[in-house]
Structure 1
Amino acid sequence: MNRFAVCVSRAVARVTDAALGKYQTAIVRIGFATTWLLFLLRELPHRQELYGPDGPWSWDLARQLTANNHAFSVLMWSDGQMWFETVYALALLSSALLLVGWRTRTMSLLFMVGVLSLQNRSVFMGDGGDNVIHLMAIYLVFTRCGQVWSLDARRVRRSAAARARGEEPRPDRAGPALWVVLGLVLAVPSVAGWISGAWLVVFWGLWAVQGLWWYVGRRAPHGEPRILLDVVANLVHNAALLVIMAEACLIYSTAGWYKIQGSRWQDGTAVYYPLHIDYFSPWPALSDLLSAHGATVLLITYGTVAAQVAFPFTLFNRRVKNVLLAVMMTEHAVIAVVLGLPFFSLAMIAADAVFLPTSFLRRLGGWAARARGRLARPAARLPLPRPRGPRPPAGEPAEQPQASPAT
């Protein structure tokens, strides 16, 4: 009984003392922000047909659907062209700022608003990758995904270094200003009645918590209120991280078990057919090469099903999980090239990244830091050739060359 109590206390301390998987949540943040940002940039010329007033799914139809299913979309507040362009631009900006980790708590919320607004505006424009982004955008709001590899983390390090030198850190003016602006912006749709019900409680609740966090951190940075807020934030983060991992396992397990029920997956020919659909054949020669041999098609078909069904069970063995994770990421990369589904593959790779080992992610961060240092380092200046003077007369010592600045 005492041993059980000790194990329980250790588990409670582990999930409350720190945010687990900070490297994993950071790579998930970077992966999904990059995927959505690249998608919005690629569809920039076609944004009107996808989500704007010129789309086949009209604004009236979208409004009727959201009224029935209670889906959230700020594009339902107005059908004007200027409002649509503003929302699209803000979705781009929030994705870019979330990618670099600037005010990640706020940007993750704005990122979610952008994803939900555009996807719920035209529900028939998405695919499996969009569904994954849709879910992960909601989960990221509840994670502390800016503790590493972010501008927020750099700001915290600089403040800590200033305190270690006995200096007063630079006051944070951007955070309170952003909080006030967003509060004023949120007040407009709240008064107009455009936001109601659970969404109204969620947005105002998150806004109030952010203000409380800043106030406590300024007035009592090491007191009991701040410790309590850290414990609650760690609990919410760890719960959201568990949900992200469970969601990834659920995606693969359901996909694998549904495939088993299909006759084409049972006879090993399912992979052959999408390779010969024009829409999924950006490289016809490559598709023909992969489908030319029946044994190759059979192995890929059965291998896909086996990997998806077995993946949740491999989490109990680290080595097997890492091997299968590399196989599945490679499979998604092949799908991106062969079937022409880059954003679906990027979304799935970003979801898979939550299972990457911390040691590998640290090495990856080190490689990225060294690469950034090489790019930022100015090129070494080569010494200019010294002009040759007249030859000294015989019997006089020659002038000794001086060391160049480069040496």
Structure 2
Amino acid sequence: MNRVALAVSGAIARVTESALGPYQTAVIRIGFAGTWLLFLLREYPHRHELYGPDGPWGWDLGQQLTGLNGSFTVLMWSDATLWFEIAYALAVLSSLLLMLGWRTRTMSLLFMIGVLSLQNRSVFMGDGGDNVLHLMSIYLVFTRCGRVWSLDARRERLGQEARARGERVVDRTGPALWGVLGVLLAAATGAGRLFDSEALVPVLLWGAWAAQGLWWVVGRRARSAEPRILLDVIANILHNGALFVIMAEACLIYATAGWYKIQGSRWQDGTAVHYPLHLDYFSPWPALADLLSSSGTMVLLVTYGTVAVQVAFPFTLLHRRAKNVLLAVMMTEHAVIAVVLGLPFFSLAMIAADAVFLPTSFLRRVGVRAARARERLFARGRGAPPPAPPAPEDTERAHVGFPA
């Protein structure tokens, strides 16, 4: 009983005292924000046909749909072209800033608004990856995804160094951004727009805004450390819960896809992969598709291998080496799908979801090598000799910062 009690207390302490998987959440932040940003930029010339006033899913149909399912989209607040352009531009900007890790708490909310607004405006514009982005944009709001590999972590590190030198550090950008967003939320609520849809998104927006204000007030005005510690514990619990949901969501996607495939006759006889290779919509490289489908044995192996990998993946999480091998296979498979079937954004979204299972040691090595490459690039630009490689412990400290 004592061992069980110690294990339970240790698990509770781990969940409440720290935000787990900081590197994994940074990778999925960069992955999903980058995927959405690339999609918006690629479709920029066609934005009016996809989500704007020139689309086949017209204004009246959009009003009927959102009225029936209560989905949230700011694009139904006005049918003006200027309003659409502003919303699209803000979606692009929030994706870029979230990917860079600037004010990640605020940008994750704006990123979610951009994703929900555009996708709920035209629900038939997507290839499967949009569903993953839709869900993950909500989950990211609850994570502390800016603790490493972000401008927030860099700002906090520089602030700590300045305070160590006895300098006073005052953050004016955060309160100003908080005030502007509060005014916009109040205006939208007062106009009766914010609560036209389901209450989940408006409540989430107002709750996050109030929490940000409380966090700032406690950090600046509290005379003791207990209130800040309490808020930190709550933030850690939300982060770790959201991280668990993201992992469970990824497992659910693969498990359901695999088990549904097993029930299909074409997957059972090993010919399912042959058919999408010969559809015009999924054949950007016909010669490559013909080459891959020319071997019946290859088609059979790929078909059965796809089902086996998807069904087995949730169970391999119990074995680290097997999980890592299968993870590499799945990421390679999505990269092949991106090229062969012409589904780059679906593949990028799935690779970003898979990244939550990457080993921390691997991600740290990637971060160290990226930092060295960046320093060498800047040193060459300045005409200075490349700096010596940092020690592992110094690199690790450089990535640690307060929640962002």
Q: Who is 1:344 aligned against? A: 346
Paired with 1:105 and 1:224, the residues of 2 have a C-alpha distance of 22
Given residue 208 of structure 1, which amino acid in structure 2 is its aligned partner? A
Paired with 1:6 and 1:379, the residues of 2 have a C-alpha distance of 54
Alignment of 1:47-126 (within 5 A): 47-126=47-126
CA shift in 2, pair 1:174/1:280, >3 Å: same
Q: Who is 1:280 aligned against? A: 282
Alpha-carbon distance, 1:381 to partner: 5.8
Alignment of 1:241-260 (within 5 A): 241-260=243-262
Alpha-carbon distance, 1:60 to partner: 1.2
Alpha-carbon distance, 1:43 to partner: 0.1
Q: 1:333 aligns with which of 332, 335, 345?
A: 335
The RMSD of aligned alpha carbons is 1.2
CA shift in 2, pair 1:274/1:222, >3 Å: farther
Q: 2:112 touches 2:138 (CA, 8 Å); kept in 1?
A: yes
Return 190-199 or 362-371, whichever deviates more: 190-199
Q: 2:101 touches 2:151 (CA, 8 Å); kept in 1?
A: yes
**Residue 175 of structure 2 corresponds to residue 154 of structure 1:** no
CA shift in 2, pair 1:93/1:379, >3 Å: closer
Q: Who is 2:143 aligned against? A: 143
CA shift in 2, pair 1:7/1:184, >3 Å: same
Q: Who is 2:131 aligned against? A: 131
- Secondary structure in structure 2 of the residue aligned to 1:20: coil
Paired with 2:161 and 2:100, the residues of 1 have a C-alpha distance of 21
Unaligned runs of 5+ in 2: 385-404
Q: Who is 1:193 aligned against? A: 192
**Residue 237 of structure 2 corresponds to residue 235 of structure 1:** yes
Q: 1:370 aligns with which of 366, 369, 372?
A: 372
Paired with 1:163 and 1:221, the residues of 2 have a C-alpha distance of 18
**Residue 179 of structure 2 corresponds to residue 180 of structure 1:** yes
Alignment of 1:2-13 (within 5 A): 2-13=2-13
- Secondary structure in structure 2 of the residue aligned to 1:226: helix
**Residue 206 of structure 2 corresponds to residue 207 of structure 1:** no
Paired with 1:103 and 1:380, the residues of 2 have a C-alpha distance of 29
Q: Who is 1:266 aligned against? A: 268
- Secondary structure in structure 1 of the residue aligned to 2:194: coil
Q: Who is 2:24 aligned against? A: 24
- Secondary structure in structure 2 of the residue aligned to 1:123: coil
Paired with 1:313 and 1:187, the residues of 2 have a C-alpha distance of 47
Given residue 167 of structure 1, which amino acid in structure 2 is its aligned partner? E
- Secondary structure in structure 2 of the residue aligned to 1:377: helix
Per-residue CA distance 1:134-162 (angstroms, 9 max, x = gap): 00000000000000000000011111112
Paired with 2:368 and 2:287, the residues of 1 have a C-alpha distance of 39
Alpha-carbon distance, 1:167 to partner: 2.4
Paired with 1:350 and 1:31, the residues of 2 have a C-alpha distance of 5
Q: Who is 1:399 aligned against? A: none
Q: Who is 2:308 aligned against? A: 306
Alpha-carbon distance, 1:165 to partner: 2.2
- Secondary structure in structure 2 of the residue aligned to 1:378: helix
CA shift in 2, pair 1:297/1:222, >3 Å: farther
Paired with 1:153 and 1:187, the residues of 2 have a C-alpha distance of 30
Q: Who is 1:396 aligned against? A: none
Per-residue CA distance 1:156-204 (angstroms, 9 max, x = gap): 11111122223222x1000000000000111111001112234332211
By relative contact order (CA 8 Å, sep 6+), the higher-ranking structure is 2
Return 290-299 or 219-228, whichever deviates more: 219-228
Q: 2:98 touches 2:111 (CA, 8 Å); kept in 1?
A: yes
Paired with 2:201 and 2:245, the residues of 1 have a C-alpha distance of 20
Paired with 1:254 and 1:22, the residues of 2 have a C-alpha distance of 28
Per-residue CA distance 1:297-323 (angstroms, 9 max, x = gap): 000000000000000000000000000
- Secondary structure in structure 2 of the residue aligned to 1:282: coil
Paired with 1:225 and 1:12, the residues of 2 have a C-alpha distance of 19
Given residue 66 of structure 2, which amino acid in structure 1 is its aligned partner? T
Unaligned runs of 5+ in 1: 383-407
Larger Rg: 1
Paired with 1:258 and 1:29, the residues of 2 have a C-alpha distance of 29
Return 18-27 or 213-222, whichever deviates more: 213-222
Alpha-carbon distance, 1:380 to partner: 7.5
Paired with 2:18 and 2:382, the residues of 1 have a C-alpha distance of 43
Alpha-carbon distance, 1:221 to partner: 8.2
Q: Who is 2:392 aligned against? A: none
Given residue 247 of structure 1, which amino acid in structure 2 is its aligned partner? E
Given residue 189 of structure 2, which amino acid in structure 1 is its aligned partner? S
Alpha-carbon distance, 1:222 to partner: 6.1
Alpha-carbon distance, 1:251 to partner: 0.2
CA shift in 2, pair 1:172/1:294, >3 Å: same
CA shift in 2, pair 1:306/1:111, >3 Å: same
Q: 2:127 touches 2:343 (CA, 8 Å); kept in 1?
A: no
Per-residue CA distance 1:341-388 (angstroms, 9 max, x = gap): 000000000000000000000011111111111221135769xxxxxx
CA shift in 2, pair 1:334/1:221, >3 Å: farther
